[in-house]
Amino acid sequence: MWIRALRLTDFRNYERLDLELEEGLNFLTGPNGSGKTSVLEAVSYLAVARSLRGANDAEVVRWGSSSFGVGGDIVADGTVRSSTLRFTRGGRKEVTLDGEKQALLSDLVGVLRVAWFCPEDTWLTKGGPSERRKLLDMTLCQLDPAYLHALSNYRRALRQRNEALLSWTPDDKSEALVDVWSERLLQYGSRVTAGRMRLLPKLALAVARFHKSISGSDALSLRYKSTVVGGVGSDAGNGDAPPGEDEIRSWFAEALQRVATDERRRGFTLVGPHRDDLEVRLGKRALRTFGSQGQHRTAAIALKLGEAAVLDSDGRGVVVLLDDIMSELDDQRAEALLDLVGGLGQALMTSTRGAPSIEAGHKSRNFVVEAGEVKRQ
Ligand SMILES: Nc1ncnc2c1ncn2[C@@H]1O[C@H](COP(=O)(O)OP(=O)(O)OP(=O)(O)O)[C@@H](O)[C@H]1O
Ligand SMILES: [Mg+2]
C-alpha cells in the first residue's frame, strides 16, 4: 500500500496542504522548523490515529484554530481508499473511511501501515524497556485489530488494578476488588504476551538480516524477556515454538500469586507484559550494556527496518517514515539504507540538507518545505 495524496487543514504550521506523493521515495528538504516532521506526523495519524511524535492531539491543532484535519488517498490491493481524521479541541477524534463515519478510531488502523524512524530511536537499544515494548506493540496493533483491542483493555485493567492495590486494606472487600481486575489483567495480558511472543521469531529473523546487510557482519539477536513466562527473565522466540495464550495465562496467574504480598504492600502491579522487555544482543552480549554509539545506531535501524519488513510480510506494503536519518549516516550506510527502504515500498524522508542523489531504478520525488508550504521540485 502507499499514500497517493495527503491533505491537511490547520495541522501544526499548515493552514492547508494538498500533497501528491510518489509511490517510491519522497524527499522533503527544508530548514529547521519549516514543517517537515509535521508531514510525517500527519501520515502517522492516518495509520494509527495518533501522533508518532508522542504529542497530544491538542498540541497539533494549528495555533489559534479549534480543530485539525488529516485526509489521505491510500492505494492498496489495487483500489483507492480515502480516509480522514478530525480532532476538535475539547471533543473527540472522528474518522471516516471512504466517506463513511466509523464508530471506532481503531476502524482506521490497518488501512495504512507505517514504520517510523527518527534519530532519537538510538534510544531503542540504549534506553529503558518501554520504547522496545512500544516497537512490538505498534507493529502488532497495525497487523491485528484484536491485538489493539487486547492491549487497550489490558491498559485499562492495569490502571484499575493499580488503583485497587493502592487503596488496598486487609479485608474481603478490598480483596474482591483486586480479584475482579486480576481476572481481566490475566485475560488480556496473556493475549498481549502471546501476540508479542508469536511476533518475535519473525521480527528477529528480519532484524538479523538487515543488520547483516548494513553492518556487514555481527550477529544481532532478540530475546523476549517475560516477567511471567517460566518465572522472571526467561527467553522465548529463539528456536522453540512460542507458548499459547492458555499456557501463558496459567503462568501469569502463578506469577501474580508469587508477588501477591509484595503488590499489596507496594500498591501496584509487579508482573505482566507492561514490565517485559525485548533484549537486543550483539554476539553473546546484551547491546544495552556495552554498545558503542555506532553499534546502537546500526542496531536501531535494523530493528526499524525489521519492523517494516514484518509489517509488509503479507505483501500489502508499508510506508516507511524516516525523519532526519540520512544526515546521521556515512555515505555508504545511507546508500545501503535507501536501497533497503526502496525495496520495502513507499518512503517519506526528511532532511535539512538537499536530497541525496538517487540511482536510476528508484522512483523518487523531491519536495521543498518552507514555512508551512510544500513545493514540488
Ligand atoms: N500547533 C502548532 N501550530 C502552529 N505551528 C506549530 C504548532 N506546533 C508546532 N508548530 C511549528 O511548526 C513548525 C514545524 O515543525 P516541524 O517539527 O514539522 O519542523 P521541521 O521542518 O521538522 O524542523 P526540524 O528540521 O527542526 O526538525 C515549527 O516552526 C513549529 O514551531
Ligand atoms: Mg523535524
Separation of CA 120 and ligand 2 centre (Å): 11
- Residue 237 has what pLDDT? 44
pLDDT (tens place) for every residue of the chain, 377 residues total: 999 999 999 999 999 999 999 999 999 999 999 999 999 999 999 999 999 888 999 999 999 999 999 999 999 988 999 999 999 999 889 999 999 999 998 898 889 999 998 878 878 999 999 999 999 999 999 999 899 999 999 999 999 999 999 999 999 999 999 999 999 999 999 999 999 999 999 999 999 999 998 887 778 999 999 999 864 334 544 556 889 999 999 999 999 999 999 999 999 999 999 999 999 999 888 999 888 888 898 899 899 999 999 999 888 889 999 999 877 777 777 787 888 888 888 999 999 987 766 665 678 899 999 999 999 98
**Ligand 1 pocket residues where CB is under 6 Å:** 12-13, 30, 32-38, 59-63, 352
**CA-proximal residue: ligand 1, atom 8 (nearest):** 12
Separation of CA 352 and ligand 1 centre (Å): 13
Separation of CA 291 and ligand 2 centre (Å): 26
Separation of CA 31 and ligand 2 centre (Å): 9
**CA-proximal residue: ligand 1, atom 16 (nearest):** 35
Instruction: Specify which residues 100 forms β-bridges with.
Output: 97
**What fold does the segment set 1-113+312-377 form as a domain?**
Rossmann fold (3.40.50)
Long-range contacts of 95-101 (CB under 8 A, 24+ apart): 95/49
- Residue 363 has what pLDDT? 83
- Residue 362 has what pLDDT? 73
- Probe ligand 1: pick from 8, 10, 28, 37, max atoms within 8 Å of CB? 37
Separation of CA 214 and ligand 2 centre (Å): 25
Minimum-distance ligand 1 atom for the alpha carbon of 60:
1
Please calculate the CA angle 129-188-249 and round it to the nearest 5 degrees.
90
- Residue 359 has what pLDDT? 63
- Residue 49 has what pLDDT? 93
- Residue 231 has what pLDDT? 40
Separation of CA 51 and ligand 2 centre (Å): 13
- Residue 214 has what pLDDT? 82
Domain ranges of the chain: 1-113+312-377
Separation of CA 310 and ligand 2 centre (Å): 26
Burial class (CB in 10 A: 0-12, 13-18, 19+), 371: exposed
Minimum-distance ligand 1 atom for the alpha carbon of 59:
1
**CA-proximal residue: ligand 1, atom 9 (nearest):** 12
Minimum-distance ligand 1 atom for the alpha carbon of 30:
21
- Probe ligand 1: pick from 34, 325, 348, max atoms within 8 Å of CB? 34
- Could you list the beta-strand ranges (E) of the chain: 2-11, 14-20, 25-29, 67-76, 79-88, 93-97, 100-101, 114-117, 220-225, 277-282, 285-286, 318-323, 345-351, 364-370, 373-376
- Residue 327 has what pLDDT? 73
- Which ligand has its closest atom nearest to the C-alpha of 58? 1
Residue 366 CA: distances (Å) to CA of 86, 237, 330, 357: 28, 41, 21, 11
- Which ligand has its closest atom nearest to the C-alpha of 68? 1
What is the CB neighbour count within 10 angstroms for residue 224? 26
